[in-house]
């Protein structure tokens, strides 16, 4: 199973939110490039980044921090979400050196457009499914739609088989350090023809083991790494 350490960017800093609440953020570092280097030094080969300012504003904001992270990555896989909503932005970010991009809000607004982008950039785009009570949330989680997560998956799968993966985040679990929503995740895995990466609430090595047992393709781990409840080397070992 893939292990993706997470770096969430807000105002140029590396932060974590609780349940997607921008007012409940904890700054873990003012040097995202250094944090990326630490995760790579600990054995990570993949890195998941989110431009939280971009998710809210609709366009990429933390470009300098992203460049610093890419410098540390030295060609390793870095995927970025938050504010990826136009073809021009996709092209610019891939040209910058990012491996994959997570598209959420724009995919919900126009699944057909997202499918076309997946065809244009095969296996470089990831569907970002952020859900609250099973419904897809957008605009940096500030708006909860009336579209069930499973319906959006069906729509995208209908038009493309070039989607690289799905990042599924259960907002109620995110940053709360109380374990993922395994039941909801299993439903998403059953509905999805694409690999599913779990995000939100991964707190202990037992959580990681359970995701492995559930045959989840990958896990994004944030606060648990920063607060020390999961050792990255151990997570990589059991995955």
Q: Give the three-state DSSP class for 174.
A: coil
For the annotated catalytic residues, the residue numbers are 8, 130
Assess contact for 200 and 164: CB atoms under 8 A.
no
Number of Cβ within 10 Å of residue 178's Cβ equals: 11
Three-state SS annotation for 47-84: EEEEEHHHHHHCCCCCHHHHHHHHHHHCCCEEEEECCC
Backbone φ, ψ for residue 78 (5° rounding): -125, 125
Distance CA 129, CA 138 (A): 9
CA 72 to centroid of chain Cα atoms: 19
In sequence order, what are the beta bridge partners of 170? 131
């Amino acid at each position: 199973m893939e292990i993706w350490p997470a770096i969430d960017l807000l105002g140029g800093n590396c932060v974590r939110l609780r349940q997607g609440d921008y007012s409940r953020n904890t700054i873990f570092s003012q040097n995202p490039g250094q944090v990326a280097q630490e995760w790579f030094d600990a054995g990570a080969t993949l890195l998941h980044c989110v431009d939280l300012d971009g998710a809210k504003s609709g366009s990429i904001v933390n470009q300098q921090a992203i460049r610093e992270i890419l410098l540390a990555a030295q060609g390793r896989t870095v995927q970025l979400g938050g504010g990826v909503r136009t073809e021009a932005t996709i092209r610019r970010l891939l040209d910058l050196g990012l491996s994959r991009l997570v598209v959420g809000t724009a995919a919900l607004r126009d699944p057909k457009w997202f499918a076309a982008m997946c065809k244009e950039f095969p296996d470089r785009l990831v569907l970002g499914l952020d859900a609250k009570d099973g419904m897809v949330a957008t605009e940096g989680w500030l708006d909860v739609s009336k579209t069930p997560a499973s319906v959006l998956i069906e729509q995208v799968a209908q038009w493309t088989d070039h989607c690289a993966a799905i990042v599924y985040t259960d907002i109620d679990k995110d940053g709360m350090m109380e374990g993922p929503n395994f039941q909801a995740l299993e439903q998403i895995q059953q509905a999805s023809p694409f690999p599913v990466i779990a995000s939100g609430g991964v707190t202990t090595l037992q959580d990681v083991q359970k995701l492995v047992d559930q045959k989840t393709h990958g896990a994004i781990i944030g606060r648990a790494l920063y607060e020390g409840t999961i050792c990255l080397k151990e997570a990589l070992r059991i995955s």
